Structure 1
Amino acid sequence: MDASLEDINQYDVIIVGAGISGINTAYHIQSKLPSLSYTILEGRSNIGGTWDLFRYPGIRSDTDLFTFGFEWNPWTDNRAIADGESITLYLRSTVEKEGINKHIRLQHRVISANWVTENQSWKLAVQTSDGLKENFTARFLVLGTGYYDYEEELRPDIPGLQNFKGKVLHPQFWTQGFNYANKRIVVIGSGATAITLLPNLAEQAAHVTMLQRSPTYIMSIDNSAGTSLIHRIIPKSWSFKLTRWMFMWMTALIFTLCRAFPNKARSILQGKVAEQLPKHIPMDPHFQPTYRPWDQRLCFTPNGDFFVAMREGRASIETGKIETMTDDTIVLESGRSITADIIVTATGLKLAIGGRILISVDDKPINLADRFAWRTALLQDVPNLAFMMGYVNASWTLGAETTGQLVCRLLKYMQSKGYSSVVPRVPIKSRIQPLLMWNLDATYVKQAASHMPRVGDVGPWRGRTNYFLDLCRARYASITADLEFSKGQKKTL
């Protein structure tokens, strides 16, 4: 490679992914560490990550946008829950406003990343839009690649699915322009995606049935929070920041109360559902979860649109296990059957950290699942690498915010001490116990346990549970505990 081109591709920090995580990290680096050079490598042709990839009908946020938006550029739309296109437009305007767009390289897919100890840097092999491979080097690498596999959907184990002669769709790879008008649709699943799909598909379909193996908790929220009194009497620059903090505390409070008083929380949630159901749809078994509130994620329906579709007769719900399928019918173990023209498998996502990047240290492959995560941000025994992970009980952005601030604080510390690398190390005599990074009783999370980094039960290896505590730790807790720093021959951070 030409030497001048190689120089161009050398950075202090390389961020992989131009979604929520990558954009947030970029902002913090350029505002807190302006002397460092950085770039964002995005494998797709557009920014936005999830919100540009997913195109199924009604795609929208599954948490409120006031906390999903950035703290440094608040979401100022009146809606608490918004569609994917609106979120993408928000992200585009954000990167242009802050000049981050000048640092993004689209259609640059990272194939592999190898830490070279001798050079104290990462060497990245990157596939470009013209099919050629380029080498990039970085002294610090940040994986803002999200938590699921962008290239392969989760393949559900559905008995007899191969017998079905109609169209089978997965929300992650929805066929653009697909005409489902006047079709009988069965959405298999009970999570946020299924609850989003049902009312939106019902607008054109002949009928939509949500088929769930077990019920989930559903909560209606007022989607006009941005029109409250505070937005009429306080300037926008302050009112939406205040709204953001109100939603953060409200979400944290709901989660805490659900865990502390599960029976009372169950009673309240189910009572609200009963008020919105049409008389011909019973609570039992369709809305009687067997688990406690927040053992799985709580699902939100803006303005109760999920229940509106049922009251209007455009949608219905079935609960039970599938026995088999014929060319146009789903047969349940209970003996009930559902006729369908289209099946949508909204059964979760295939989890993956690192976006399929082959990661190695001195040419030795690294299995991320073998590693503990230091403050849910750095990986055990892997130098100068951070990854982004969100919360199960709050907006993804809050997890990215905590990690972004932690990484910048760490880089500042390394600069001040002249260090070129940092490696998390589990103490030799530690009795750390491995725990799941996401404490959710969801099938797709359990299936991914063997492919995800672990957290521990002690010190900086503990997992995240509370944004406010974690943000405090990111800003003020020890920045050296269980970390090993070194000074190499190359220029230091």
Structure 2
Amino acid sequence: MTEHVDVIVVGAGISGIGTGYHLQARCPDRTYMILEGRAAMGGTWDLFRYPGIRSDSDMHTLGFAFHPWTAAKSIADGPSIRAYVEETAREYGIDRKIRYGHHVKSAAWSTEDARWTVEATGPDGPVTLTCNFLSMCAGYYNYAKAYSPEFDGADSFAGRIVHPQFWPEDLDYSGKRVVVIGSGATAVTLVPTMAQTAAHVTMLQRSPTYIVARPGEDRVANWLRGKLPSKAAYGITRWKNVLMGMFFYRLARKKPAKVKERMIGMVRDHLGPDYDVATHFTPRYNPWDQRVCLVPDGDLFAAINAGNASIVTDTIARITPDGIRLDSGKDLPADVIVTATGLELQLMSGVAFSLDGQPIELAGRLQYKGMMFDGVPNLSSTFGYTNASWTLKADLTAIYMCRLLNTMTKRGLRQATPYNDDPTMKSESFLDFTSGYVQRAAASLPTQGERKPWKLNQNYALDVLALKFGSIDDAMRFSNPGRSKDGRSTDAGTLQTA
């Protein structure tokens, strides 16, 4: 017999564990399981093992709202975050709901049965499961494949070329010359960490990124924790950091020139007046057109000042046996090349969805409240903020899903389908980012509308009002599908409110 549960959650990273908690706390009458394709929980924090791996958001907002982060470090290392996720899952019994080694391949919705049939590859072969509601918490990128452009001459390189997503355990770079290609969050993490033991580390960037130094510890949070119960201290710190982040983001969008000047000025304060900040730390775009990189305690700047690391802004002509030949004609000697060139965007783990036997095309489809899709029933997808911590939005997505499930139970209805009945609704990209990984995948992404509930807020305070307390009925069709006497599918009891 095919196993059935009320809710299947796909992914056992931060989003999946958080969703499991909210299902237990808010929908205790619902059964659920979590399908995880890998052999361990943690998602990103279990996959990435490169030197210095850490959060690029503070743990008081990246952590779970219901389980306080109590360590002194606010900007935490990967192993600590992984241990925190595992501890949370154990404490609330969520770990007992996880099926490891279950990679979901397809999900087919049947209106007649009002359920999803999920096909997965398990440790012992194909597995078929069914559920009433499907929650996709599989992240936003391809775990099996990273973005790594082909460089001419790569085969001739005498050293090793590695990508951070697949870091080899046996790589010894101590005393060696390292070139890290890239200028994003991964690169600015790798460079100061590798510089501690390498002969020298060069960060080779095609163009600069905004980089901001921030203390690795939150002194206010640590002070509050000594004065108040942990949950109260954590809650206050969480909202402090949320409001500060919202303030600086709004300021950056409202006065980009002023914010840009200040951010570059802070870099100059770290590196001194003689450093070429204009070339290496002055982006061509406005703040928050791409995600801002965080360096805790200014570690990147310290490595540069110590002479252990340097930045080169140029483009690659080819890889040579001894390093990298640049288009400027300069040669960068290297024993190890790290291609921190980015991710391959992949929404909902590449699962093939269908509705009553017809494929569901998500590319270009309107998103509903940043978590569901126009015309697709009983399916939610978790996608965190681009301008704040991922978990803030993941938490609200799970809360809204639970509200929706409880509403359906109360009304005795089995199907909830977001539906746009305005043919004049204009659509736009739901990711307003110029980052390379977003632009490369633009054609495969869903869209957002020009007004609520089809337009994203990208604002935590507004989303708290909309998802935690707002209407469940706006642009949502609730129905009770089934079979008529002659055996045909029916959709009796349809309720539509706009």
Aligned match of 1:13:
7
Alignment pair present for 1:425 and 2:419: yes
Q: For 2:203 and 2:55, how far apart are their aligned partners in 1?
A: 20
Gaps of 5+ in 1: none
- Match of residue 305 from structure 1: 299
Q: Give TM-score scaled by structure 2 length.
A: 0.94
Spell out, residue by residue over 1:308-347, the C-alpha distance to the aligned partner (whole angstroms, 9 max, x if none).
1111111100001222222223222222221111111112
Tell me the equivalent position of 1:319. Answer: 313
Report 1:209-248 matches (<5 A): 209-226=202-219, 228-248=222-242
Is it true that 1:189 corresponds to 2:182 in the alignment?
A: yes
Matched, 1:338 2:335: no
Question: What letter matches 1:35 in structure 2?
Answer: D
Give SS of 1:51's match.
helix
Read off the aligned partner of 1:304 and give its amino acid letter.
Answer: G
How much does 1:297 deviate? 0.7
Which residue in the other structure is 1:201 paired with? 194
> Is contact 1:159–1:322 with CA below 8 Å preserved after alignment?
no
In the alignment, is residue 76 of structure 1 matched against residue 70 of structure 2?
yes
| Superposed CA offset, 1:3-56 (max 9, x none) | 3xx3xx210000000111111111111111100101111111110000000011
Deviations 1:114-166 (A, max 9, x none): 11222110111121113x21211000000000000111111225454444342
Q: Which runs of 4+ in 1 moved over 6 A?
A: none
Instruction: Tell me, in whole angstroms, the C-alpha distance in 2 between the residues paired with 1:483 and 1:237.
Output: 35
Write out per-residue CA displacement over residues 64-118 of structure 1, whole angstroms, 9 at most, x where no aligned residue: 1110001111211111111111001001110111111111111122121111222
Q: Which amino acid letter does the alignment assign opposite residue 18 of structure 1?
A: A
The question of whether the paired residues in 2 share the 8 Å contact of 1:391 and 1:464 is answered with no
Q: Output the CA distance in 2 between the equivalents of 1:174 and 1:73.
A: 30
Moved more, 20-29 or 232-241: 232-241
Deviations 1:144-201 (A, max 9, x none): 0000011111122545444434211111111123111112111111111100000111
Q: Secondary structure at the match of 1:370?
A: coil
Residue 120 of structure 2 is matched in structure 1 by 126
User: Paired residues, what number?
Assistant: 483
Letter paired with 2:61:
T
Question: Which residue matches 2:129?
Answer: 136
Find the counterpart in structure 1 of residue 440 from structure 2: 447
Bigger mean CA deviation after superposition, 210-219 or 171-180 = 171-180
Letter in 2 for 1:398: L
Residue in 1 aligned with 2:267?
273
Most deviating of 160-169 and 50-59: 160-169
CA RMSD for the aligned pairs?
A: 1.7
The answer on whether the counterparts of 2:111 and 2:482 sit within 8 Å (CA) in structure 1 is no
Is structure 2 residue 496 aligned with structure 1 residue 488?
Answer: no
Unaligned runs of 5+ in 2: 484-492, 494-498
Amino acid aligned to 1:232: G
- Following superposition, the deviation at residue 472 of structure 1 comes to 0.8
The 10-residue stretch of structure 1 (461-470 or 60-69) with the greater mean CA deviation from structure 2 = 461-470
Contact 1:406 1:474 in 2 (8 A): yes
- More deviation, 116-125/141-150: 116-125
Paired AA for residue 366 in structure 1: I
Which of the numbers 347, 354, 360 marks the counterpart of 1:366? 360
What one-letter code is carried by the residue in structure 2 that aligns with 1:486?
S
Cα distance in 1 between the residues matched to 2:233 and 2:473: 38
Task: Read off the aligned partner of 1:10 and give its amino acid letter.
Answer: H
Q: 2:250: which partner in 1?
A: 256
Moved more, 269-278 or 313-322: 269-278
Residue of structure 2 equivalent to 1:85: 79
C-alpha separation in 2, matches of 1:49 and 1:412 = 28
Q: Which amino acid aligns with 2:226?
A: R
Counterpart code for 1:193: T
Contact 1:278 1:310 in 2 (8 A): no
Q: CA distance change for structure 1 residues 118 and 472 in 2, over 3 Å: closer, same or farther?
A: same
Residue-by-residue CA offset, 1:245-280 (whole Å, 9 max, x unaligned) = 111111111111111111221121111111111666
SS at match of 2:427: coil
Moved more, 159-168 or 348-357: 159-168
Distance between the aligned counterparts of 2:223 and 2:168, measured in 1? 42
* Pairing 1:467–2:476 present: no
Picking from 132, 145, 149, the partner of 2:142 is 149
CA distance in 1, matches of 2:154, 2:256: 37
Deviates more, 1:451-460 or 1:387-396: 451-460
Kept in 2, the 8 Å contact 1:41–1:104? The answer is: yes
TM-score, normalising length: structure 1:
0.95
For residues 222 and 412 of structure 2, what CA distance do their matches in structure 1 show?
A: 50
